[in-house]
Structure 1
Amino acid sequence: MLDLFSGCGGLSLGFNAAGFEISAGVEFDPRAAESHGANFHPGQPIYALPRDITSLSPVELADTLDLGPVTSCIDVIVGGPPCQAFARVGRPKLREIESHPEAFIRDPRARLYLEYLAYVEAFQPLALLMENVPDVLNHGGQNIAEETCEVLRDRGYVAGYTLLNSAFYGVPQMRERMILVAYRRELGIEPSFPRPTRFLQLPRGYASSRRVALKLLKGLPGGDVNSYHPPAMPSPELPPAVTAREALSDLPVLTAHLDGGSRRGRRALETAIGYGTPMVPEGSYADFMRHWSGPATAEGVTGHVIRHLPRDWRIFARLAPGDEYPEAHAAACVLFGEELERLAAVNAAPESGSEAHDALRAAFVPPYDVGKFPNKWRKMEPDLPARTLMAHLGKDSYSHIHYDSTQARTISVREAARLQSFPDSFTFSGAMNAAFRQIGNAVPPLLAKAVADEMSRNLAALGTTIPTAAASR
């Protein structure tokens, strides 16, 4: 398998767990590429180098990594070209860029999509996967997924796509993704998608966003939506979705910030600390995270570090699960009022309107407008999967405030990894912000594994009967 736009390796990890051999990842970001190389090709630095798909041809990649003949060395290609790269390109433009090697000069948005197609054309894989956000079903009035399927059909593939929510597949996070799979036509495989293994009644926001995406689902001009597969909904008889508490409760308690023990500066991701709960029930999510893809270090868990929180931990402690920024701002105002009363009792309260008064308020009350940023903060509910992790976690992790008020903090790097279903043995290169970004950008590995298992079953069913044309590619 070849992973394009691999990031740190969420898709790679899921496919590897399903039995696929990870031949290489192509990733532009240096830290993400370093993480991918360290986890899938340890001790081989050539795999950890960043690579620009716009300047690296398939032949150069195969030669550099000694993969073998380009047309036969890769069976499966996976990846998610950023949707901005080909949004609003349109069916005529998609066909145009296939035959125009310099089409990116005319329309730079097409470039990354063009490179993905170029790699498919060169390696001629038996199967491929593309993933993206649900909005690609109607991006600027276009269904990018449907257009992609049509282009792939012109390339000799049978393709289909659907929407999958990671919480339905054992991930303690509600994350909706568009998943597109395709197989060489001569294989005779119809695209199919994994059925849910966990039950969750999606909260109103997620359920409505899915309904909107499907309601606005558009086909191609003059045609129907003929490649879309309605997603299977989970049965209430299935085991419940994995919750944030199940995912995080065994990790070490972090309270140094509550008494001034936290300082600004780089956080060492490599430092291991003992688990908060040395033993966890066999078969639990925590047990799975400790042992999937190899046991964690004997010293404990790494990457369990958080942002510096000189002001806001006092607010976090007063929030209830599910509270967002309006409640946080109100709690901060109460804290500020209490501080004024304390100072007034000893005749030390600053005069209203003075610089000292304004400075004291700033030490307690965040400056963000409640009306403009209602969802800027959120305290996680312990008995639900977490909300979607974003790539900007490194700069603003307040979207995931820990449910435990006694810790009064945002989630750590390792906790973010757990919520994405990265096992504890998975390491992230770079500093804390880079690690958060890699995690937020990734496809949850357990969701990737569910799709990979389905693809593996489809390919394995062929046995040794793969048609000659496909076998030789």
Structure 2
Amino acid sequence: MKKMTFIDVFAGAGGLSEGFVKAGFEPIAHVEMDTHACKTLETRNYYYALKNANKLQVYYDYLLGVISHEDLAESVLNKLDNVINASIGDDNTNIFNRIDELCQGRKVDLIIGGPPCQAYSVVGRHRINKLEEDDPRNLLYKQYGLFLEKYSPKVFVFENVLGLLSADNGRYFYDIKDYFRTLGYELDSRVLNTSDYGVLQNRKRVILIGWKKGSDFSYPELVAEPNPYTVADILEDLAYLEPGDQKNITNYANDINDYLEKSEIRSDMDFVTQHVARPHNDRDLEIYKIAIDKWIGSRERLKYADLPERLKTHKNQTSFTDRFKVVDIDNYSHTILAHISKDGHYYIYPSTEQIRSLSVREAARIQSFPDDYYFEGGRSAAFKQIGNAVPPLMALKIATEIKRAL
């Protein structure tokens, strides 16, 4: 049976694509402007190609450093170079030409993706009040629409942050929906929390789904599922780390547990990659210990103003008072954001035995990426890609229900 196809625009590191691929859809193209994210997408493509050819050991050799990325690429026969490293704008002629080549006469069934969300986020809200031309990100939904006009898919999925609903008192979201309707689509939206779909993280996102007018499609029923697991289930099998430890290759510390098996986060590999921690200075480590003791001892968050004066470096003690935050080991994590690439203060490991911030692999697991997913570009680039991503487990739920409806 022929697989349904999709194009992923503003693809990032491929979290949304991962869910659709696992649900049985075939990617025609991924369009992304970040070079490191594009290399990550290429590496994931090679993983699937080698898996389908029963040659996964070649992929493992790459992760282990036995072969280079060039060797990895050469090992994949008949590969289509479907990762397009380009910035989406008003003139997408080159992108469209490349996608047309990749289509090879096939119809595009879906378009998925979400424009960069900073312009709609609470942090970026002050920019919303500027004129639209002052912040072109406010109009990226129209660039998304150009792909709908060009390829006329049956269905599209548009993902973004919760702040999109209230930006400019709701005008932007109204404009987005109105614009997509002018392109010939009916649509509906839901606010979904990733913790309802197997992800051990409280992360609310707006999921807008559109379908061709006149079709019998409707917004799929995305029923929340019981999720009795906690962050402890993510962390317990990973090796001990000191601040600054660079365990790019390490063995698992414990056997697989129910959550890691059910979610398929832990792969068939007998090793794990990118379990690397950033270094911290003595002042930060002292603050982290205070924050951990306070959270574990009394479930209280550290307020910046409560720190000893000798540990304070900021005069402003009223904004971002919770800039040091411990991950809740007994529940779901708070939202992983791209800011984790800047520092680890908001993602402190929940134990006095390992005083540090989360490793790259721990953050990836909280986002529900499988352990065989490799993020290219180094530690900071990996953190950024992880923080910006759609959690694959939630993407899988959306993709499965869309497939069922289609």
The TM-score normalised by the length of structure 2 is 0.79
**Are the aligned partners of 2:120 and 2:167 in contact in 1 as well (CA < 8 Å)?**
no
**Are the aligned partners of 2:200 and 2:366 in contact in 1 as well (CA < 8 Å)?**
yes
**Are the aligned partners of 1:391 and 1:438 in contact in 2 as well (CA < 8 Å)?**
yes
Matched, 1:46 2:51: no
Aligned residues: 352
Matched, 1:68 2:104: yes
**Are the aligned partners of 2:341 and 2:380 in contact in 1 as well (CA < 8 Å)?**
yes
Partner of 1:210: none
Partner of 1:280: 256
Please give the secondary structure, in 2, of the residue aligned with 1:388: coil
* Separation in structure 1 between the aligned mates of residue 357 and residue 306 of structure 2, nearest angstrom: 16
Distance 1:310 1:84, change over 3 A: closer
Distance 1:327 1:140, change over 3 A: closer
**Are the aligned partners of 2:305 and 2:321 in contact in 1 as well (CA < 8 Å)?**
no
* Separation in structure 1 between the aligned mates of residue 224 and residue 120 of structure 2, nearest angstrom: 30
* Separation in structure 2 between the aligned mates of residue 248 and residue 151 of structure 1, nearest angstrom: 44
Matched, 1:247 2:234: yes
Cα distance, 1:67 vs structure 2:
1.8
Q: 1:315 aligns with which of 261, 283, 287?
A: 287
Partner of 2:268: 295
Cα distance, 1:110 vs structure 2:
5.6
* Separation in structure 2 between the aligned mates of residue 370 and residue 274 of structure 1, nearest angstrom: 42
Cα distance, 1:372 vs structure 2:
2.9
Partner of 2:160: 132
Distance 1:284 1:328, change over 3 A: farther
| Cα-to-partner distance string for 1:266-298 (whole Å, 9 max, x where unaligned) | x57xx3101111x123x323663444xx533x3
* Separation in structure 2 between the aligned mates of residue 252 and residue 329 of structure 1, nearest angstrom: 33
**Are the aligned partners of 1:247 and 1:286 in contact in 2 as well (CA < 8 Å)?**
no
**Are the aligned partners of 1:289 and 1:418 in contact in 2 as well (CA < 8 Å)?**
no
* Separation in structure 2 between the aligned mates of residue 454 and residue 143 of structure 1, nearest angstrom: 29
Cα distance, 1:10 vs structure 2:
0.7
Alignment of 1:419-438 (within 5 A): 419-438=366-385
Cα distance, 1:371 vs structure 2:
2.8
* Separation in structure 1 between the aligned mates of residue 135 and residue 338 of structure 2, nearest angstrom: 26
* Separation in structure 1 between the aligned mates of residue 44 and residue 112 of structure 2, nearest angstrom: 17
Which shifted more, 78-87 or 176-185? 78-87
* Separation in structure 2 between the aligned mates of residue 377 and residue 86 of structure 1, nearest angstrom: 24
* Separation in structure 1 between the aligned mates of residue 285 and residue 115 of structure 2, nearest angstrom: 38
* Separation in structure 2 between the aligned mates of residue 106 and residue 404 of structure 1, nearest angstrom: 45
Matched, 1:383 2:360: no
Q: 1:13 aligns with which of 4, 15, 18?
A: 18
Alignment-mate amino acid for residue 44 of structure 2: N
Cα distance, 1:106 vs structure 2:
9.5
Please give the secondary structure, in 2, of the residue aligned with 1:129: strand
**Are the aligned partners of 1:77 and 1:128 in contact in 2 as well (CA < 8 Å)?**
yes
* Separation in structure 1 between the aligned mates of residue 313 and residue 170 of structure 2, nearest angstrom: 39
Cα distance, 1:150 vs structure 2:
2.5
| Cα-to-partner distance string for 1:327-358 (whole Å, 9 max, x where unaligned) | 7963x66xxxxxxxxxxxxxxxxxxxxxxxxx
Partner of 1:148: 176
**Are the aligned partners of 1:158 and 1:191 in contact in 2 as well (CA < 8 Å)?**
no
Give the structure with the larger strand fraction: 2
Matched, 1:410 2:383: no
Cα distance, 1:23 vs structure 2:
1.8
Please give the secondary structure, in 2, of the residue aligned with 1:396: coil
* Structure 2 gaps, min length 5: 1-5, 48-72, 74-78, 122-131
| Cα-to-partner distance string for 1:228-279 (whole Å, 9 max, x where unaligned) | xxxxxxxxxxx42x31111111111113x4xxxx48xxx57xx3101111x1
Q: 2:345 aligns with which of 377, 390, 398?
A: 398
Please give the secondary structure, in 2, of the residue aligned with 1:308: coil
Partner of 1:177: 205
Partner of 1:304: 275
Please give the secondary structure, in 2, of the residue aligned with 1:141: helix
Distance 1:45 1:412, change over 3 A: farther
RMSD, aligned CA: 2.6
Larger Rg: 1
* Separation in structure 2 between the aligned mates of residue 251 and residue 429 of structure 1, nearest angstrom: 21
Alignment of 1:331-370 (within 5 A): 361=310, 365-368=311-314, 369-370=316-317
* Structure 1 gaps, min length 5: 88-103, 199-238, 334-360, 460-473
Identity %: 32
Partner of 1:29: 34
